[in-house]
Structure 1
Amino acid sequence: MNLIFEHGIWSFANAEIWVGIGLILFFGILVAAGVPKIAAKALDAKAAKIQADLDEATRLRAEAEALLVQIRKEKAEAEAQAAEMMAQAEADARRLEVETKAKLEETLARRQKMAETRIAQAEAQATTEVKAAAADLAAKTAEQILTARIASGAKDPLLDSAIAQIGDRLN
C-alpha cells in the first residue's frame, strides 16, 4: 500500500516528517542565501572559460592551417624554382659543351695549320740545304775534274757540255 495514506505518517511524532521539514528548510536557506546564483555564476564562468579556450583553439587551428597552406605554397614555389634552376644549369652545360667543342676544334685546326706550315718550312729548308749541298758537291767535283783535266791537258767534249748544263740545273 501507499505510505502517504498510512495512519500516523503525518504526525509530528514521526521522525521522517522532521527529516522532510529539515530538508525543505535547508533548501530554502540555500535559495535565500543565493547559492543557486553563485553556483550558476561559477558554472557560467567555467563555461565562459571553456568557450574562450575553444575559441582560442579554433583560432590557433585556423592560423596553423593558414600557415600550412602558406608552407605548402612556398614548398611548391621552391620546387618549381629548383626545377627551373636545374633546367637552366643543364642548358648552360650543353651550351658550354658546344662552345668548348668549337674552341677545341678551332685550336686543333690552328695547331694543325701551324704544324703544316712548320713542315712546309722544314721541307723548303731541307730542299734548300740539299740543293746547296748538291751544288757544293757538284762544284767540288767540277773542280776536281777541271783540275785533273788541266793537269792532263786533254779535252773531252762530253764533259764540257755536262759542266755547262750543271749551272742551269742547279738554279
Structure 2
Amino acid sequence: MSNIPFLLVADGPSAFGVDSYQWVSLAMLILIGVFIWKKVPGLVTGGLDSKIEEIKKQLDEAKNLRAEAEKLRDEYAAKIAGAEKDAEAMMEGAQREADAILVKAEADSEAMVARRKRMAEDKIAAAEREAIAGVRATAVDAASNASRILIAEKHSADADKALADEVIGSL
C-alpha cells in the first residue's frame, strides 16, 4: 500500500480480474437496478404519498374540529351573554315588583289605619250618643218619678175629678 490515503490501490484479492471494490460497486448497481425494476422507489413514494394524504386528512379533520369547537365556544358565549341579560332583566323586574308591593303595602296600611281610626271614632260617637240617651232616660225617669211624687203629694181626689172633667170637656 502506498502512503496516499484517499487513493484506492488494488493490492487485495480479486476474482475474474475484478478487484473487491469493483465487486462492491457492481453489487450496488445490481441492487439499485433491482430496486428500479421492482419499482421500489414508486412503492416508497406511494407509501409516502399515502402517508401524506392521511396526514392531510387528519389536519383537515383537526381544522374542522377546531372550527366546530370555536363555533360551539362562540355559541355558548352568546348563550352566557343572553343568560346574563335575562338574569339582569329578571332582577330589574323583581325589583320593580318589590317596589310595587312595598307601595301597595304602604297604601293598604294607611287605608287600614284610616279605616280603624274611623271605626274608633264611630264607636266613640255611638258611645257618646248612648251615654246621652242614657242620661236623658235617667233624667226622664227622675223627672217622672219626681212628678209622680209631687202629684201624689199635692194632688187630691177633688183635683183628679176636676182634671178628668177638663180632659173630657176638651174632647
Report the TM range for the smaller structure's normalisation: 0.7 to 0.9
Amino-acid identity (%): 32
Match of 2:101 in 1: 96
Q: Which of the pair has the greater relative contact order for Cα pairs under 8 Å at 6+ separation?
A: 1
Q: 2:113 aligns with which of 93, 108, 112?
A: 108
> Is the 1:10–1:17 Cα contact (8 Å) retained in structure 2?
no
Write the letter of the residue equivalent to 1:103: D
> What whole-Å deviation, never above 9, does each CA across 1:62-106 have from its counterpart, x for those lacking one?
111121112111111110111011011101110111012112211
What TM-score results when the alignment is normalised by the length of structure 2? 0.78
Task: Tell whether the 8 Å contact from 2:12 to 2:20 is kept in structure 1 after alignment.
Answer: no
Moved segments of 4+, more than 3 Å: 2-5, 7-16, 148-151
Structure 1 residue runs of 5 or longer lacking an equivalent are: 152-171
Q: Deviations over 1:110-160 (max 9, x none)?
A: 222122112212210221111111210222123223333458xxxxxxxxx
Structure-to-structure mapping, 1:55-134, within 5 angstroms: 55-134=60-139
> In 2, are the aligned partners of 1:3 and 1:9 still within 8 Å (CA)?
no
Q: Mapping of 1:32-47 within 5 angstroms?
A: 32-47=37-52
Q: Secondary structure at the match of 1:6?
A: coil
* Counterpart position of 1:6: 9
Q: TM-score, normalised by structure 1?
A: 0.78
User: Higher helix proportion, which one?
Assistant: 1
- Distance change >3 Å, CA 7–CA 19, structure 1 → 2: closer
* Partner Cα separation in structure 2 for residue 14 and residue 4 of structure 1: 14
- What's the CA shift string for 1:38-85, capped at 9, x where partnerless? 110000000110011011101110111121112111111110111011
Count how many residue pairs are aligned between Structure 1 and Structure 2: 151
